[in-house]
Amino acid sequence: MNMLLYKAWIETRVRFFAGLIAVTIVCIFYLQQHAWLVKMWAHELADSKGYHGAWMPLGINHYSWYLWHYLYDNYLQQVWALFALLFAFGGLIRERSSGTVLFSLGLPVSRRQWLFSRLAVALLEALSVACFAVVVVVIGSRVIHQDYSLTQLILHTLLMVGAGVFLLAIGNLCYSLAPGNYTSLLVTLIVLGVPYLLLQNYMQNERDLNKTTWLQYLDVGHAMAGPWQITWTSFPWIALFVAWGLTGLCLSITAFYGDRVDY
């Protein structure tokens, strides 16, 4: 079993390190932009003809809203989701085109063990990337002299990864069903990425206008972001359990399908 984890790790370690670099860049960029953005919003608000967003006072007065908005509700989340999908890419079906699948299947390892060991490594990598982002934010905030709540950061990280496992699971299912190595990667990124981004954006606008539609139930991005002031009591447990239920469903389908494939 250790060897299966080891194999999955060497196969994905380049992506993992790329993931670390990517989240570092995103975090540092928005930490560095903080002073300038706050100044700009204050300027806009002071100007009677300027743009007055309802959220602007929050952004100016609450550093933790700023962190949530730019990182957990938008860009860090998106980059993390992209890498979570990349970590989940691979597996027996993909080994077919590299010609190693019969060697793998000749080992005394069940197809489910192959599947779940890979996903376990992908999950650990995704979790590590998210935790690494916390470290970057902690250090970066000290540099720009800002106060923040560490508990909130950790709760947001947990929610993002907790609800985000759904992406790992559905991503892996897509890879299994789609043909071709790079086609399947591309198809999955488009099929999952485009609705996710569009919906996230659309629902953010709707919320600003205080409107709700049934589409909110499909808004994975919001489920991963949660409310900006997150505590154990305001933790969106229902969304989380729904995400886990769907994750279980995706994994069952993948495992069921995987057991029946002829190599």
Partner 1 sequence: MAHVIETQQLKKSYGTHEAVRGLDLSVSEGAVCAFLGQNGAGKSSTIKMLLGMVHPTSGKGRIFGHSISNEAESLIIRQKVAFVAEDKRLYDYMTVAELIRFTRAFFPTWDERFEQELLDRFELPLDRKVRQLSKGMRTKLALLLGFARGCKLLILDEPTEGLDPVAIEDVLQIVVSLAAQGTTIFFSSHQIGEVEQVADHVLMINRGQLVLDASMDEVKERYKHIQAVFPEPVEERDFRLPGIEKARIEGRTVTLVASDHLDSILEHVRMLKAGSIDVLPLTLKEVFLEKVKVRS
Q: Tell me which residues touch partner 1 (CB under 8 A).
A: 2-3, 6-7, 10-11, 98-100, 102-103, 105-111, 259-260, 262-263
Distance CA 109, CA 50 (A): 64
| Residue 12 or 247 having the CB closest to partner 1 | 12
The answer to whether 51 and 44 have CB atoms below 8 angstroms apart is yes
Shortest distance, position 105 Cβ to partner 1, whole Å: 5
Closer by beta carbon to partner 1, 99 or else 147: 99
Nearer to partner 1, 103 or 214 (CB): 103
Residue 29: how many other CB atoms lie within 10 Å: 12
Min CB(6)–partner 1 separation in Å: 7
Min CB(131)–partner 1 separation in Å: 26
- CB 92 to partner 1: min, Å: 10
CA distance 111 to 62: 49
The nearest distance, CB 49 to partner 1, in angstroms, is: 60
85 in Cβ contact with 188 (< 8 Å)? yes
Compute how many other C-beta atoms are within 10 angstroms of the C-beta atom of residue 138.
Answer: 13
Residues 47-53: contacts with CB within 8 Å, 24+ apart?
A: 53/208
Q: Which is nearer to partner 1, 98 or 205 (CB)?
A: 98
Least distance between partner 1 and beta carbon 196 (Å): 31
Nearer to partner 1, 9 or 55 (CB): 9
Q: How far apart are CA 46 and CA 189, in angstroms?
A: 42
Nearer to partner 1, 122 or 240 (CB): 122
Q: How many residues does the chain have?
A: 263
Note whether 68 and 96 are within 8 A (CB).
no
- For the bound state, the minimum distance from the C-beta of residue 10 to partner 1, rounded and expressed in Å, comes to 6
Environment class of 68 (CB within 10 Å of its CB; exposed 0-12, middle 13-18, buried 19+): buried
Token readout for 104 is 């793998």
Tokens linked to 232: 């154990």
Among residues 111 and 207, whose Cβ is nearest to partner 1? 111
Tokens of 165: 């496992």
